[in-house]
Amino acid sequence: MKVSKKESNVYWNPIIETLPMEKLRDLQFMKFKKILEWAYKRSKFHRRLYQEAGLKPGDIKTFEDVAKVPKVEKSMMMDIQRKDPFPYGEALCVPLEEVTEFRQTSGTTGTPIYQPDTWQDWEWWSEAWAYLLYAQGYRKTDRVFLPFGYNIFVAFWAGHYAAEKIGCEVVPGGVLDTEARILKIQELRATAMMATPTYVLGMADTARKKLGIDPARDLSIRKITCAGEPGASIPSTKQRMEEAWGAKVYDHVGATEVGAWGFECTAQPGGLHVNEALFLVHLEDIETGETIEKPGRKGKIIITALDRIAQPCIRFDSKDVAEWSKDPCPCGRTFRLIRGGVVGRADDITKIKGVLVAPSAIEEVVHSIKGLSDEFEVVVTKKGDLDDITLKIEILPDEERNREAILVQLKDQLRLKTNLGYNIEVHPYNSLPRYEVKAKRFKDLRKKCE
Ligand SMILES: [Zn+2]
């Protein structure tokens, strides 16, 4: 099919984003072999990993062979860092003086991982973000506001550079507090912004309560790019954000050690495209490790950044869980879709009373009920041998009269969607913790109770 001039305006890279699948696989395989060879030659860590598995880069002859390459886990990176060359250690593949960017992971699951990038890597970061922002409708005419603290975490740094690369006007809303950020958005008539779902909802709340500003009516933000939490792929949370801001809300996934590897497009197909120009993603059965090619089964995401050179990311076990979508996206991109975004972390999807539960399923229910506030908390404890699960919620002040009906609806929906019964605790409005960036709403205290 010929791409017309008008259609070509939909894609950041009209050729690669519409490449037939076989050609995309060829391109990915060629790049995979190159980065594997690169790491084998230059990183002591990777060479040791592959030698121990009896594997040389030359053994990878077909696309299927990729699954034979050993995976890298975050814990392995912790062991090799802070050593020579300080502070990155044995996975560094370039001379230290080539490194131009330092970032680190947040360390919520242990010691933070340091992430070096060269200037070439940094350009690659912004290229990955340019694909996603362009797919979400960012253009030269946009004025993009970034309400985020620019610091050692990568967060929206690359989004900033990519928006500039596309030609948008970028306003860094760094050290301002939430109220000052909202007033700046209003003053400058910003048209787009990027933030975590928790902060998008928190900002709207502050605007209404403290400033008497209704973001949907009084501000001109029409596109919001989310990251850091799955909220923008949870339908009820997405709807809350879109209604609060009168804007389209789009999801994106990425990680410090990986890059920005997946994005939602303006077609909002109920899933995320894997950026297959720059990444190779395998889904793997959580128990058997078997590669999942077909829709209908959830698996762990194993991911390779095909062009990142300073500290390569080759078959990284992200511990995130997703499933392939069965339908192609109406936008015409041939990049595969994962259905409903990242549905959870392999670590977070826990068994409660013998039932597998993803925290995002509880969020979906709470945010689908109109009379409840955005905040909630889930606490799992052990009483004797039995798991006990408490859900703390807040009822909106003007919905108090419907309290009984709201609680009945909540209990029914929870049982239906998560197969569990909960102790429901209603807390006074505005009393549950509010989070600035990422929320910590799921607390599993069972180990401490033992
Ligand atoms: Zn699409």
94, pLDDT greater than 70: yes
pLDDT tier at 322 (50, 70, 90 boundaries)? very high
Q: Determine what percent of the chain is predicted with pLDDT higher than 70.
A: 96
CA of 336 to the centre of ligand 1 (A): 9
Closest CA to 298 of 325, 271, 322, 280: 322
Distance 413 CA to ligand 1 centre (A): 30
Whether pLDDT at 144 is above 90:
yes
Going by pLDDT thresholds of 50, 70 and 90, the confidence category of residue 106 is confident
Q: Where are the alpha helices (DSSP H) in 114-270?
A: 119-135, 157-166, 178-188, 197-211, 215-218, 235-245
Q: For the whole prediction, is pTM greater than 0.85?
A: yes
133 Cα–ligand 1 center, Å: 12
In this structure, which amino acid lies at residue 135? A
Name which residue leads in pLDDT, 6 or 231.
231
Question: What pLDDT, on a 0 to 100 scale, did the predictor assign at position 151?
Answer: 92
283-303 pLDDT, tens digit per residue, is 998 888 899 999 988 899 999
pLDDT of residue 240: 96
Cβ < 5 A residues, ion ligand 1: 265, 267, 329, 331, 333
| Average of per-residue pLDDT across 115-143 | 98
Taking residues 104-109, what's their average pLDDT?
77
Distance CA 293, CA 35 (A): 23
Secondary structure (DSSP) of 73-92: -HHHHHHHTTSSSTTTGGG-
| Ligand 1 centre distance from Cα of residue 94 (Å) | 36
Q: Rounded to an integer, what is the distance from CA 208 to the centroid of its chain? A: 28
- Please state the rounded mean pLDDT for residues 419-432: 92
Calculate the alpha carbon distances from 64 to 40, 53, 213, 244, 293 in Å.
20, 17, 55, 46, 11
Output the pLDDT for position 450: 42
In this prediction, residue 349 carries a pLDDT of 67
Using the mean position of ligand 1's atoms as its centre, give its distance from the Cα of residue 391 in Å. Answer: 36
In this predicted structure, what is the pLDDT of residue 8? 53
Structural tokens at position 160? 């900033």
Give distance in angstroms: CA of 264 to centre of ligand 1: 7
* Residue 278 reports pLDDT greater than 80: yes
- Tell me the average pLDDT across 65-78: 93
The DSSP-derived string for 419-442 is S---EEEEE-TT-SPP-SSS---E
- Quote the ligand 1 centre to 248 CA distance (angstroms): 15
